[in-house]
Amino acid sequence: MEARRHQRIIVSLPAELIYKDKRYASTIENLSEDGAYIITAPQQSSFDFTPDTPLELRFQFPDGEKLVLYGKVKWSFLTPPHGFTNSIGVEIINPPLTYKEAFNRLI
């Protein structure tokens, strides 16, 4: 099994995912220094999140710190049956210092 480069923190943070000019209500399930695992809210139809496509992620840490992160899709898969949700692995591109500081407070 491959070892992860960075520690992951289990969270459940409401988020907004902006992908190809569309907005998706989402939940961040875990975070690392340079990545996130995200699940979209159930949708009426399926949608493919293509690897390497840029996206924007907006959310708030439990301490109130609001952030906008930029990243790219590393992988995704569709999870039916009650509406369609997407599970998405995101690589965070150049995370700002405010993200790193807020992340470290969660550890």
pLDDT tens across 80-107, in order? 776 789 999 999 999 999 999 999 998 8
Assign residue 30 a region (left: φ > 0; alpha: ψ between -120 and 50; beta: otherwise): beta
Q: Domain total for the chain?
A: 1
pLDDT tens across 22-55, in order? 999 999 999 999 999 999 988 877 778 999 999 9
Q: Can you tell me whether residue 48 is helix, strand or coil? A: coil
* Structural domain boundaries enclosing 70: 9-106
Q: What is the pLDDT of residue 3?
A: 54
Domain membership flag for residue 2: no
Copy the structure tokens of residue 78: 């569709």
Domain membership flag for residue 1: no
* CA 106 to mean position of chain CA atoms: 16
Angle at CA of residue 86, ends 46 and 43, nearest 5° = 50
CATH at residue 43: 2.40.10.220
Nearest to 106 by CA among 37, 69, 60, 58: 60
Furthest-apart CA atoms within the chain: distance in Å: 39
Q: What is the pTM of this model?
A: 0.90
Domain membership flag for residue 86: yes
